[in-house]
Amino acid sequence: MNSVFLIYFAGIDGTGKTTLARYLFDELRKRNYNVQYIHWLNGENSQLRRFLRRIIKSRCPRLASYPNGSNTTTKRSTPFITKIFLVAYPTTVLLDYLRFGMIKLWLPKTIGRKKVIVLDRSMYDVILAISKEFHFSDSRKKKLLDVFSKLLPHMDLIFYIDVPPEVSYIRKKDEIKSVQKAKSIWEDYQNFYPLLRELTSGKTVKIDNTGEIGIAKAEVLKNALGVLEELSS
């Protein structure tokens, strides 16, 4: 294996991405791989994101919940400062996550040490979420995915973890809020999965995690070790 090998876990909330990603991280570490686990949403805790949240709370209280999809202000009733926010906020968030990706992914690749990085979500998930929250057109969403796939390293192995939306809702009621929302997000990911093959040259594996978690764990480990051992031979 040369340089850094990126393993990315994709899927909606409630699919078991984090459980499976952490399991793979632990198993690879037991096998003496130099491995790192990155939860992509840790980028939410950057100083810039905390600053933006403070600004929204103090200056635009109506928008405090907007990124979570609960604000449905119409264009006619939207004040000028809100319109500015609707343009600037998603752009700023995407650029901040790009910075996060440069540090977490490009820097290790530049150093050149052999390492496996297990990613729980990635930039793609952020783009999908922001596109939905701010009602981006399909063409704009596709363009963002294309652009950021060129700016950040390609994933070498992608696990797309899937469960029916009703199951994801039961597992993550507090986050997802409704079955309807779960279905809408699930449909976005169903459309996104085929795009992964265009966006990256890595191997993609779709795993149904509806049933016993042990079955999904075994499939993840088998595929990951198979690819890593092939690269090492």
Q: Counting beta carbons within 10 angstroms of the beta carbon of residue 76, is it exposed (0 to 12), middle (13 to 18) or buried (19 or more)? A: exposed
Beta strands in 74-136 (DSSP E): 115-120
Q: What distance, in Å, lies between the first and last C-alpha atoms of the chain?
A: 8
Considering only residues 68 and 111, tell me which one the structure prediction assigns the higher pLDDT.
111
In this prediction, residues 3-25 reach a mean pLDDT of 95
The amino acid at 80: F
Instruction: Yes or no: say if 119 and 22 are a contact pair by the CB < 8 Å rule.
Output: no
What pTM did the predictor assign?
A: 0.84
In order of start, what are the domains of the chain with their CATH numbers? 4-232 (3.40.50.300)
- Model confidence over 96-115: pLDDT tens digits? 899 999 999 998 888 877 89
Q: What is the pLDDT of residues 133-167, one digit of tens each?
A: 888 999 999 999 999 999 999 999 999 999 999 99
Q: How many CB atoms lie within 10 A of CB 218?
A: 12
